[in-house]
Amino acid sequence: MNRITLALAAAAALAGVVVCVVPSAGHAEGEAGALSGITLPEGYRDWRLISVAREEGELNDVRAILGNDAAIEAYRAGTLPFPDGAIIARIAWKFTPSEENNKIFGREQSWVAGDPPDWYLQFMVKDSKKYAATGGWGYAQFDKDGKPAPEAKMATCYPCHEPIKARDFLFTRYTP
Amino acid sequence: MNRITLALAAAAALAGVVVCVVPSAGHAEGEAGALSGITLPEGYRDWRLISVAREEGELNDVRAILGNDAAIEAYRAGTLPFPDGAIIARIAWKFTPSEENNKIFGREQSWVAGDPPDWYLQFMVKDSKKYAATGGWGYAQFDKDGKPAPEAKMATCYPCHEPIKARDFLFTRYTP
C-alpha cells in the first residue's frame, strides 16, 4: 500500500469498527466481490449491541456496532485475540436532523439515523488462518442493495486498523 | 403540569425514545422510586437494536434505542398500538471525541460513546390498563448505579411524548 492510498484511507476512515475507504458513488468499479469472499452474514441485524459512534466530516454518519455471540462474549470477557468465528457488524446511517422531534422540543437538538449511505454495512470476520495476512480479520462492505464493495477498496481496511493491533485491530470499545 | 414544567421538559427533551426532564446531579431528591414502580428490566442490554440517535445541547449525548422481542416485532410489523409487554430501552452515553481514533485518522472526526450521564437508562413499558393515564406507557429512568429518577421528574415524560400519539407515543423510528 502506497502512502497516497493510505492517506486516502485515513481521510475517509470509518471509526466504529471497520475502517475502509468509502466506495465512490455509483459503484463504477462493478460487481467485484468483497475481499476474502465474505457474504452478507445472515441475521446480523438481530445481533447484540457493542456500542454506537459518530463520524463527522465527509462521512457525516451515525452508526451502531453489533456483534455475533462470539464477538459479544469476547468483548464482555476481555478476550484477546478474538476467537475464530467472531463477527463484527457496523451499520451506518446518514446523520439526519429530526424535524419532527425538534418541532416538539422547540429547539434544534435532535439527530437521528437517516438513509443508508454507500458504506451502509461493514463486517470484520475473524478467521486467524484464512485472514492471517490481515491480522486474522477479513473485511467486507455492502451497500443498501447488498452489493459488495470492490476488492480494491477493501484492501485499504487493514492498513488503517493495523495501529490498533493491541486491541486485536478493533477500534470500538464495548460500552455497557 | 404547569407551563414552566412543560417548558423545562421540552428544553431538556431526550429524543430517541423517552423524553423526560434530566435529573439534577447528585439526586438530591433522594431515593424515590420510578413512576409506576418500574424496576430495571432484566437483560435489557441484550435486546435488539431499534435505532441510534444523538441529542445536542445540554444533553450532548449519543444513544442506542433497544427493544425487547415484543417491541422489535411490533416495530418491524408496523403494529400500532404496541402490544402490552413491549418495552423500549434507551441507553445514553456522553458524546466523546475519540483521541485514539483521530490520531490514527489524522483528523478530528471520530466521536464515540463515553461515560454514562445521569440520564443513562430510560424505559417505556407498555401496559394499556396500568398506564392508561399516560397513553398506555409507563416511564422510568435509572442512573449508572441503578438508582431510579424521582417520580416528580418522571411525570414530565408523558407530556412531551403526547404530540407523537399517532405513532403510539414513540419518537424513535426503526432503522433497518
Q: What is the pLDDT of residues B54-65, one digit of tens each?
A: 999 999 999 999
CB-nearest to B55 from A109, A116, A173 is A109
Statement: residue A14 has pLDDT above 50? no
Cβ within 8 Å of residue A60, ≥6 positions away: A94, A95
- A96 and chain B: CB distance < 8 Å anywhere? no
Tell me the nearest-neighbour CA distance from B132 into chain A, angstroms: 22
Sign of the CA dihedral running A102, B75, B46, A15: negative
Cell of B2: 404547569
pTM exceeds 0.90 for this model: no
Tell me the nearest-neighbour CA distance from A17 into chain B, angstroms: 10
H or E segment and range at residue B111: strand B110-113
Cβ atoms of A170 and A48 closer than 8 Å: no
Cα dihedral B99/A88/B68/B121 (nearest 10)? -10
> Which of A5, A61, A105, A174 should be substituted to probe chain B, the one whose Cβ sees the most B Cβ atoms within 10 Å?
A105
**pLDDT, position B19:** 55
Whole-number Å distance between alpha carbons of A82 and A74: 6
- B96 and chain A: CB distance < 8 Å anywhere? no
Whole-number Å distance between alpha carbons of A117 and A113: 11
Cβ atoms of A20 and A149 closer than 8 Å: yes
Q: How many CB atoms lie within 10 A of CB A8?
A: 15
**pLDDT, position A37:** 87
Tell me the nearest-neighbour CA distance from B110 into chain A, angstroms: 5
Whole-number Å distance between alpha carbons of A101 and B13: 9
Average pLDDT taken over every residue of chain B: 85
- Beta-bridged to residue B125, according to DSSP, are B87, B138
Residue-wise DSSP of A5-25? HHHHHHHT---SS---PPPPT
Cell of A132: 492471517
What average pLDDT does this structure show over A90-98?
98
Nearest CA in chain B to A13: B105
Cβ atoms of B132 and B102 closer than 8 Å: no
- B175 and chain A: CB distance < 8 Å anywhere? yes
CB-nearest to B63 from A52, A57, A173 is A52
B12-34 per-position pLDDT tens digit: 344 345 655 443 333 333 333 44
